[in-house]
Chain A
């Protein structure tokens, strides 16, 4: 079983739709990142959260540490949101923090 499970793997939405991407993990963590990767490879950390909920513009991320589950929501989706979204729990190790990565969700928003 993978340490990090993301769903769905692929998602196609119409512009304006509300989108949810889910992440479940089996490891103990100190925090969790949601990353965005556009074609060409560049990665941006959208959120790092260790409890509750964070909001940035149209993006909302929630985490339930007890249930080992996190969700990323996109409200009023737009074609520019098309990207790969990666859930990355942050494991505390002896020598520092270590990210483990979900397989990613490929999101395509059509106009």
Chain B
């Protein structure tokens, strides 16, 4: 199994600012994923992060708005840039350390005023 932690767990930010969310896995994983869950909605994949290469973004998400780092096999960050109230969501990271399952972080609850 894998344990995934995220920091911060929640934050309240002013519009126009940026927030970096950290995701730490307790074992080495090839693929890490970042999701957004807007209020009352299901999850949407933002991007896939492989170590040593640029993240692959889904349609509707761009690197300038959501830059991602993946410096090693256990860690990744997602930055939400130039925030607006529409960015208020839960942001989750996940990893699939094996072919059997996928593990999710506890999420970061972001409120933008």
Contacts and interface: CB of A to CB of B under 8 A. Distances in A.
Interface of A: 33, 35, 41-45, 48, 86, 88, 90, 95-104
Secondary structure at chain A's binding surface: helix, strand, loop or mixed? strand
Interface in B64-113: 90, 92, 94, 96, 100-104, 106-107, 109
Contacts, number: 52
Nearest to A87: B42
Contacts of A86: 42-43
B101 A45 contact: yes
A48 B100 contact: yes
B37 interface: yes
Secondary structure at chain B's binding surface: helix, strand, loop or mixed? strand
A50 to B, nearest CB: 10
B102 A48 contact: yes
B102 A45 contact: yes
Given A45-B104, A101-B42, A95 B56 contact: yes
B30 A96 contact: yes
Interface residues of B, number: 24
Nearest to A96: B31
A43 B41 CA distance: 14
B59 to A, nearest CB: 12
A90 B98 CA distance: 13
Contacts of A97: 31, 96
B50 interface: yes
A58 B49 CA distance: 35
Contacts of B33: 99
B37 A98 contact: no
Contacts of A42: 104, 106-107
B38 interface: no
A104 B107 contact: no
Nearest to A97: B96
